[in-house]
Amino acid sequence: MELLLTRKENKILSILADERRLLQIHAENMEEDPRTAVVGDIYVGKVRNVVKNINAAFVEFAKGQMGYLSLGERVTPLHTAGGRPDDGRVLIGDEIIVQVKREALKTKPPALTGAIDLTGRYVVLTVGKSGCNVSKKIKDKEKRTYLLELLGEYQQEGFLLIARTNSAGASEETLRREIAGLLRRYEAICKDGMHKVVFSCLEQALPAYLADIRDGYAAEVERIVTDDPEIYGQVSGYLTENDPGQIEKLALWDSAHGKLDAVYNVTKTLEHAMMPKVWLKSGAYLVIQPTEALVSIDVNTGKAISKKKDVQKTFYKINVEAAREIAAQLRLRNLSGIILVDFIDMESEQDQKSLLELLRQEVRKDQVQTTVVDMTKLGLVEITRKKVRKSLYDQIKERQGE
């Protein structure tokens, strides 16, 4: 696999490709907008309102930017020295340290949390919770036991340490160095935040294309390629400082091979990913419709059943083809939340079970947690996919007035 980094208009695209098929695209707006909240940013905010009936507070964390803070969390945000003494409550006028947990979604403001998350390449530190955990993707029992024991040495009340999937291949020295670094980062945030004025940004999240490298791509891909000298320099600097073992994978695109956009079909893939209809090789097609509450996907036979005698067998083949494409489209378009798929009705229960198992296998390829729930008698399949970023459509259309 390859990680491609390129500019398109005012955005930097981070693209995961396998044999020149684009599997995943993230688009990051590079035009500065002080009103745009970025997941992972940490601020000194001021509580403007507390709404008891929904057990939440509204916090102005940047000038003119309001966020939603659930008070149902067991973690009370850290109060700064400039405000009221911390007594475990959140009241109007309090100055607190919060982190952006979720981007704004259409009419919904950004979600904030007092449980600060600091993400490293191998370990995540979550403040306000306690314990140690290991990524479910690490299946080796001995490795899991080893990681739990190592994390346990640093365990203390109010700190949750999680070993990420990448940690399975990291040396003990590397893991210890990163854990110590995460603890120092949190101490610095607390010390700095105590005396900062309201709306101060205590820590900015990495740009999305660097976060993609940190979050596992550098270990998975064979090459990290960019056609932009400035991006090349930024990635080179990041890898040199944080992961020097991967620097040899970084390459500047050679224009003698043609334009990167054309070779990898970037623009056409993006255009197709904006459209509701997806054609399948068989002549069938999908219709993908995101709504406010959920994403609906309809599987249509199209031209695929002409002159076919065994209709049920044809339906199964179309559904299998559709299942593979649906898993790919969820990842490519970054569709999340509740997804309902209307497959073509099949009479055979065995075919239904086989289809569900195939779909589960396909969504396991996705780095984002995706669960195939079940199929109803009408052939509707419910899928849930964890929300990490905005959909690709929203990323591309951001700041375009749409």
Q: How far apart are CA 392 and CA 369, in angstroms?
A: 17
pLDDT at 51: 93
The domains of the chain, with CATH numbers, are: 2-33+206-266 (3.30.420), 39-203 (2.40.50.140), 275-393 (no CATH)
pLDDT of residue 297: 96
Residue 401: which pLDDT band, with cuts at 50, 70 and 90?
Answer: very low
**Which residue, chain included where needed, has tokens 């378009």?**
333
User: Strand 131-134 and strand 159-163: pairing?
Assistant: parallel
Predicted structure pTM score = 0.80
- pLDDT value at residue 302: 84
Helices (H), 69-198: 141-152, 172-193
44: CB partners within 8 A, 6+ apart: 61, 80, 95, 96, 97, 193, 196, 197, 198, 199, 200, 202
Beta carbons of 274 and 267 less than 8 angstroms apart: no
Model confidence over 179-235: pLDDT tens digits? Answer: 999 999 999 998 888 889 999 999 988 888 888 888 765 557 889 999 999 999 999
- Each as own residue / partner, the long-range contacts of residues 142-149 (CB below 8 Å, 24 or more positions apart, any chain) are 143/168, 147/175
First-last CA distance in the chain: 33
CA 270 to chain centre: 19
Question: In one letter, which amino acid is 49?
Answer: N
- Residue 33 banded pLDDT, cuts 50, 70, 90: low
Whole-angstrom distance, CA of residue 249 vs CA of residue 29 = 25
Q: DSSP letter at 105?
A: B
